């Protein structure tokens, strides 16, 4: 179990350190009026054509209510444009403004530099092992996330949608 404790410590430390580095690097200069979470919403929208808000919420694994709060702030600060679809007025389409595109580019540059610096520590074989191992973790967490969602849905169905607390 000692390896399990070590892995847990490494994952927790890595997550915290990446979040702190990302906060310091991203929320600077022109972009001090938003949060790292806002940057992740901008990343999910990206610079391609407009996307329905439901697609962005699913991509970020957040509720529509949570996304709406972020989009309200990003619209108010000039990063995101929110429009109704001409074809289907029920759809809310999201796209980046010029300021949003600059924030997106800033975020992508940060990630490229972070990965380049991290990968410089490894030879090709070590990098391959790292990628293989991390993919295994991603697969595990994705399957765990799906099974957890299914357990919650089953519990809601047993209680007619009313959770016990």
For residue 121, the model assigns a pLDDT of 96
Instruction: With 0.75 as the threshold, say if the pTM is over it.
Output: yes
In Å, the largest CA–CA distance within the chain is 58
* Whether residue 44 sits in one domain with residue 97: yes
For residue 85, the model assigns a pLDDT of 87
* Whether residue 138 sits in one domain with residue 66: no
* Whether residue 90 sits in one domain with residue 74: yes
CB 34 within 8 A of CB 27: yes
Q: In total, how many domains does the chain have?
A: 2
Q: What region, left, alpha or beta, does residue 62 occupy, with left being phi > 0 and alpha being psi -120 to 50 degrees?
A: beta
* Whether residue 49 sits in one domain with residue 65: yes
For residue 160, the model assigns a pLDDT of 59
CA angle centred on 45, ends 153 and 78, rounded to 5°: 120
Q: Cα(151)–Cα(155) distance, rounded to whole angstroms?
A: 6
* Whether residue 48 sits in one domain with residue 14: yes
* Whether residue 140 sits in one domain with residue 113: no
* Whether residue 75 sits in one domain with residue 9: yes
Tokens 């975020």 sit at which residue? Answer: 107
* Whether residue 144 sits in one domain with residue 85: no
Domain region containing 10: 2-121
Token duo for residue 46: 């990206």
Exposure string (b/e) for 75-91, b if CB count within 10 Å is 16 or more? Answer: eebebbbeeeeeeeeeb
- 40: how many CB neighbours lie within 10 A of its CB? 17
For residue 48, the model assigns a pLDDT of 84
* Whether residue 154 sits in one domain with residue 115: no
Tokens 């595990």 sit at which residue? Answer: 140
* Whether residue 156 sits in one domain with residue 132: yes
* Whether residue 98 sits in one domain with residue 33: yes
For residue 72, the model assigns a pLDDT of 97
- Picking from 136, 140, 3, the residue whose alpha carbon sits closest to that of residue 128 is 136
Would you write out the chain's pLDDT as a tens digit for each of its 165 residues? 699 999 999 999 999 999 999 999 888 889 999 999 999 999 999 988 899 999 999 999 999 999 999 999 999 999 999 999 888 888 999 999 999 999 999 999 999 999 999 999 999 999 999 999 999 999 988 887 766 556 656 655 555 555 454
* Whether residue 75 sits in one domain with residue 136: no
For residue 165, the model assigns a pLDDT of 47
- CATH number for 26: 1.10.10.10
């Amino acid at each position: 179990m000692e390896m399990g404790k070590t892995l847990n410590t490494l994952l927790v430390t890595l997550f915290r350190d990446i979040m702190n580095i990302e906060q310091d690097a991203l929320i600077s200069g022109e972009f001090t009026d938003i949060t790292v979470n806002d940057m992740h919403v901008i990343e999910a929208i990206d610079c391609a054509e407009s996307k329905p808000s439901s697609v962005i919420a699913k991509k970020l694994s957040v509720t529509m209510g949570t996304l709406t709060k972020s989009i309200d702030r990003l619209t108010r600060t000039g990063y995101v444009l929110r429009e109704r679809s001409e074809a289907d007025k029920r759809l809310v389409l999201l796209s980046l403004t010029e300021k949003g595109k600059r924030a997106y580019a800033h975020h992508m540059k940060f990630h490229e530099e972070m990965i380049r610096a991290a990968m410089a520590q490894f030879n090709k074989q070590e990098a391959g092992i790292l990628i293989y191992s991390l993919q295994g973790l991603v697969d595990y967490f994705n399957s765990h996330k799906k099974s957890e969602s299914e357990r919650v849905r089953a519990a809601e169905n047993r209680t007619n949608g009313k959770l016990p607390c």
